Amino acid sequence: MENRSEALVLLSVYENVRGLTKFFISKLGDTDINQIFEVNGIKLNTIQWLIAHLAWTENELIVKAVGNDDINLPWLEEYGFGSVPAEIKTRPDLETLLKVLDSTHQRAVKILSGLTAEDLDSDNHLNFSFAGSKCKRNLIIHAIRHEPMHIGQLTWAMKLSDIKTF
């Protein structure tokens, strides 16, 4: 059995999560990704916002904070923590979103695949703190657990759009 580094194990889990995200996105077809659903008076995140937010998060947590790099898309900043989907001005179409999601992920994979144990222990470049630590490892773990939360939101929006998820 091969002995993989911790960084490669984290990357493998991250890739598995992204595969699930891409599986559900592939079922969208011509769905209105900007439709805002409301449940019990609460407006839910749009499919468009969810996909853009995943790209923003990967850029913020992995590309910037771990890799000290940036994909440099100013409109992506509209999709950060606390943003309100109804107030967003830049709404890329699904094809554009998928290109950004894929290119951001490719850059993140390159960063993660080159990390050493010492890199994982070192502080991140944006001074973010998760679980009481600023180490890059905790940011990667947060990115891994963050995406499935939004996959769940995506599948709810899909069900509300009458799209079969399995």
User: Is 165 among the domain residues?
Assistant: no
What pLDDT was estimated at residue 166? 84
Mean of all residue pLDDT scores within the chain: 95
Half-sphere exposure of 96 (CA within 13 A, CB side): 11
Could you tell me the pLDDT band of residue 80, with boundaries at 50, 70 and 90? very high
Give the pLDDT confidence score for residue 24 in this predicted structure.
98
Q: Is residue 96, in this structure, part of any structural domain at all?
A: yes
For residues 146-157, give the mean pLDDT.
97
Domain with 122, as residue range(s), is: 6-160
Is residue 166 in a domain? no
Q: What is the pTM of this model?
A: 0.95
Mind giving me the DSSP string for 80-140? Answer: STT--GGG------HHHHHHHHHHHHHHHHHHHHT--HHHHHSBPTT---BTTB-BHHHHH
Kindly state whether residue 1 falls inside one of the protein's structural domains.
Answer: no
3-state secondary structure of 76: helix
Q: Within 10 Å of residue 101's Cβ, how many Cβ atoms?
A: 19
Supply the angle between the helices 94-113 and 47-58 in degrees, to the nearest 10.
20
The answer to whether position 117 is within a domain reads yes
Q: Is residue 94 part of a domain?
A: yes
- CB-based contacts of 38, cutoff 8 Å, min separation 6: 44
Q: What is the mean pLDDT of residues 109-115?
A: 97
CATH number of the domain where residue 89 is located: 1.20.120.450
Residue 2 has pLDDT above 60, yes or no: yes
Q: How many domains does the chain have?
A: 1
> What length does the chain have?
166
Residue 92 lies in a domain: yes
